[in-house]
Amino acid sequence: YEVVAVVSHFSDTQSRNNRELEVAAIAKEHNIPLFIPHKPSEIIDELRAFKADVAVLAAYGRIVSQAIIDLFPLGIINIHPSLLPQYRGPTPIESAILNGDSETGVSIMQLSAGMDEGPVYAQRKISLEGTESKFELYTRVVDMTSSLFFDTFSRIIDHSITATPQSNEGISYSKLIHKQDGIIDWNLPAVTIDRQIRAYEGWPQSRTTLNGLDIIITKAHVASG
């Protein structure tokens, strides 16, 4: 496939080590135009000029309007790391850990203007052991998604697969996670705190105060009894 452009999420923040945005480095290496707008609507004319057949969305973190979706004859194909309609929204991986789920998965779907409400082309499940951290589960999801996506994408392009509307049953939404969520409430059950520490790995991190010192807890386990 010919990739005509890359659009990435704009951020005012910089990491401590000023790492270059990985997708920017890949775009530069292959001479692909890169756009990092505050909002996708800012570059609608530029996107229209490419006359691309289809777009692919992964971890973009911004609402995409119907006007943008309509630029592409085959729409926008979204990779969402949950078994839709479960955990629509921004934090499906963290939600699966926080709720102690026995399985999660990934959905390849047709993007719609509603939050993760579009029809689904394909899904694949992942069994959970109940010990996964956010980064561990993210890595498993990414590894599994590659083969599922490219197999599904080729079938979308040649029109040999159609998307199925999501069920109206079992709909749930994941919520935004805030820095305040990382402050440990020691009145909660140990199982709940363990899940939070695993789900909040990296950010917002799980924090507490011990003997007057601010502490970040990165790993924990529930003691028997």
Q: Rounded distance, CA 178 to CA 201, Å?
A: 13
CB 173 within 8 A of CB 88: yes
Model pLDDT, residue 13: 52
> In this model, does residue 11 exceed pLDDT 70?
no
Q: Which of 8, 60, 62 is nearest to 34 (CA)?
A: 8
Residue range 143-178, pLDDT digits in tens: 999 999 999 999 999 999 999 999 999 999 999 999
Q: C-alpha angle 125/129/135, rounded to 5°?
A: 80
- Residues 173 and 150: their CA atoms lie apart, in Å, by 27
**Listed ranges 4-13, 18-27, 216-225; the one with the highest mean pLDDT:** 216-225
pLDDT at 84 over 60: yes
pLDDT at 16 over 50: no
Three-class SS string for the chain? CCCCCEECCCCCCCCCCCCCCHHHHHHHHCCCCEECCCCHHHHHHHHHHHCCCCEEEECCCCCCCHHHHCCCCCCEEEEECCCCCCCECCCHHHHHHHCCCCEEEEEEEECCCCCCCCCEEEEEEEECCCCCCHHHHHHHHHHHHHHHHHHHHHHHHCCCCCCECCCCCCCCECCCCCHHHHECCCCCCHHHHHHHHHHCCCCCCEEEEECCEEEEECCCCCCCC
Q: What is the pLDDT of residue 63?
A: 82
Tokens of 48: 């229209």
What does each C-alpha distance from 27 to 4, 7, 139 come to in angstroms? Answer: 10, 10, 22
Region for residue 82 given its phi and psi (left: phi exceeds 0; alpha: psi -120 to 50; beta: otherwise): beta
Segment among 5-19, 20-34, 116-130, 164-178 with least mean pLDDT: 5-19
Give residue 60's pLDDT: 85
Average pLDDT over residues 119-144: 96
Inform me whether the pLDDT recorded for 117 exceeds 70: yes
Do the Cβ atoms of 91 and 177 come closer than 8 Å? Answer: yes
Percentage of residues of the chain with pLDDT beyond 90: 85
Q: Which residues pair with 183 in a beta bridge?
A: 207
Segment 178-189, tens digit of pLDDT: 999 999 999 999
| Mean pLDDT score across all residues of the chain | 93
32 beta partners: none
pLDDT average, residue stretch 126-140:
96
